[in-house]
Amino acid sequence: MITNDFNKKLRGISDALRDLGYTDTTIGLRQRYWKEYCGFHGGLDIDEESMEEFLLTNYGIQSGNINISKRQYEVRAALRNLLEYRRYGRIKNYHTPWFKDLPWVESFRVITENFVSHLRSQGSKPQTIVNYERTLKRFTNHLHGMGADSFRDMTPEHISSFLSNSIPDIVRNLRAALCHLRVFLRYLYLNEFTKDDLSLFMAKEEKCVSFRLGRKRQSFCKSI
């Protein structure tokens, strides 16, 4: 049951985030997770045990697991905010992009790091490199989750699966993410890390993705 006291507590936590520069959109999303936790637990009182129970039961997040989706990251961040505020009356400004919690998959690390070095040598801007890293961390974690631990094991089905599962999270940067993946796949082929040029497959995938989003196909990036 939502009471005036409950709303007062939510305003206090929300104001603490707002003072740290969090956007109203992010705060609104975290309020939703706090309310969900309240319904699960019966109130906003929280400790590590109740937080971990909620995350595991409602979102399948196991303690210590860092290979998580954007949505899982956001709900965990919301509960951490709640825990810290309820415990100390404040929130530290430790916000980092969700993908920073994703690890590099070791079996892909050397090749992906060499690709990033290639981008730097070509004069790519630091933010561009960060954006590529975000896409490639997600992609290689997805490959690993599907049982592929080498780029030579990669198939068009892996790419389709990644895009299908990622659309809800990357829709705002869809053109850039597709471009990143196509450029990277071309790099793999040119450097003989894959037998086939899977970047050619991306043209079909870009069209399918645009169709699923109800958009007309657009030009995504120049060929490398």
Q: What is the pLDDT of residues 25-76, one digit of tens each?
A: 889 999 999 999 999 998 889 998 999 999 999 998 887 666 677 788 889 8
The tally of domains found in the chain comes to 2
Q: How far does Cα 65 stand from its chain's mean position?
A: 14
Range(s) of the domain holding residue 135:
103-212
The span from the CA of 101 to the CA of 99, in Å, is 5
> 177: pLDDT confidence band, cut at 50, 70 and 90?
confident
Separation between Cα atoms, residue 92 and residue 170, nearest integer Å = 27
Distances (CA, A) of 30 to 6, 132, 221: 15, 27, 35
Predicted confidence band at 150 (pLDDT cuts at 50, 70, 90)?
very high
Other C-beta atoms lying within 10 Å of the C-beta of residue 200: 13
Residue 50, in any domain of the structure? yes
CA distances from 133 to 136, 138, 210 (A): 5, 8, 23
| Helix runs in 146-173, H state only | 156-170
Determine the pLDDT at residue 222: 44
Domain match, 188 and 94 both: no
Asked if residue 81 is part of any domain, the answer here is yes
Decide if 32 is inside a domain.
yes
Stated pTM of the model: 0.54
Does one domain contain both 31 and 45?
yes
pLDDT greater than 80 at residue 189: yes
d(CA 69, CA 53): 18
Within this chain, do residues 80 and 116 fall inside the same structural domain, yes or no? no
How far separated are the first and last CA of the chain, in Å rounded?
Answer: 57
Closest by CA position to 109, among listed 71, 76, 143, 77 = 143
Question: 66 and 145, same structural domain?
Answer: no
Q: Do 108 and 82 lie in a common domain? A: no
Instruction: Please tell me the predicted confidence (pLDDT) of residue 213.
Output: 47
